[in-house]
Amino acid sequence: MKKIEEIVHIIPLGHEIDRAVKPFKRYKANRVYLLAVTETFGKYSNEMIDKQKYYLEIVMERLKEMGMGVEHKNIDMFDLLELIKNISNIVVDEKTKGNQVYINISSAGRLTSAVATIAAMAHGVKAYYVSADGYSESKEDKNKHGLSICSGDPRIQVIETFQLQLPEEDGMKALVKLYKEGGKAKTTEIAEYLGSEKVEGFEKCIPWVKVPRNERFNYLMKLDKRILRKLEKNRYVTRERRGRYNTIKITASGTYLAHISGQLR
């Protein structure tokens, strides 16, 4: 029996209520992920965290009252790499299950909105913006609506994104390996990792020490021609020669792609 497609929303949440809740007066969802910072991470004040918890608890309660499954993920919302990694992980997991994903880009700050839009573009999912009819001026309004006030039937604009041209899957896996290794790795280590990930053409590269010496050169040439040259051309990696092997280093752009991949946990 074919699995029924579910509708899933991802909501990075700041000090908003209406912008997170009001869209579901018209559009229903099976599940909602609320991303919010609810611990200090050793650098934020307890006062700030308590205020965020207030908005999170109200939004969670109202969404549950509407009959939706709600899951909160505690994320350092001001760490852009962490944010894009977590959004991407959710998107990849849900798309793998055959579900339809939407991302609310209006329920947190501007930087969060930008990161959420990039994640939507990278994975080919819909982003939407909930327009405010006004803004809260009193403490009472902020407690009731959040920073923005939306009418009973808010205006919702779906952002027409174009899908980003990402490296192919084997290239993304190479970038993930580099990031996991602290930003650099030998070509032999990358080949072995691709083998562990069952990437086509590298299945016999694990463990590398058992690869016959007369076959190693062919694998490294395949790695270079098929993957590394493309990554280097797009400035996602650089390389340096050390001894008999090249050491591959990830760039800042490559680091962002590793986090967008949905493969960092």
pLDDT in tens, 239-254: 987 767 789 999 999 9
Rounded CA-CA distance 260/253 in Å is 11
**CA proximity to 194, closest of 237, 223, 234:** 223
Q: For residues 10 and 160, which has the higher predicted lDDT (pLDDT)?
A: 10
Structure token digits, residue 241? 């020669």
**DSSP code for 227:** I
Looking at residue 192, what is its pLDDT?
97
Q: How far apart are CA 96 and CA 32, in angstroms?
A: 17
- Give the global pTM: 0.90
pLDDT band at 1 (very low <50, low <70, confident <90, very high): low
Quote the tokens at residue 54.
């207030």
The pLDDT score that the predictor gives to residue 126 is 93
Listed in sequence order, the DSSP H helices in 124-245 are 139-145, 169-180, 187-196, 213-223, 229-233
88 has a pLDDT exceeding 90: yes
- Render pLDDT for 188-204 as a digit per residue (tens, 0 to 9): 999 999 999 999 999 99
**Average pLDDT for residues 49-75, to the nearest whole number?**
97
pLDDT for res 4: 84
Q: What is the pLDDT of residue 75?
A: 96
pLDDT computed for residue 10 by the predictor: 98
Give the single-character DSSP code of 207: S
CA distance 120 to 223: 29
Which one has a higher pLDDT value, 246 or 132?
132
pLDDT above 90 for 21: yes
Pairwise CA distance, residues 196 & 199, whole Å: 8
Confidence of residue 230 (pLDDT cuts 50, 70, 90): very high
Q: How confident is the model at residue 66 (pLDDT cuts 50, 70, 90)?
A: very high
| 31, burial (CB in 10 Å: exposed 0-12, middle 13-18, buried 19+) | middle
- Total residues found in the chain within this entry: 265
163, pLDDT greater than 80: no
Mean pLDDT of the chain: 94
Q: What is the mean pLDDT of the segment spanning 22-39? A: 95
Alpha-carbon span 20 to 27, nearest angstrom? 12
**Would you say residue 2 has pLDDT above 80?**
no
Q: Please, what are the domains in the chain?
A: 7-159 (3.40.50.10770), 169-260 (1.10.10.10)
Residues facing residue 173 across a β-bridge: none
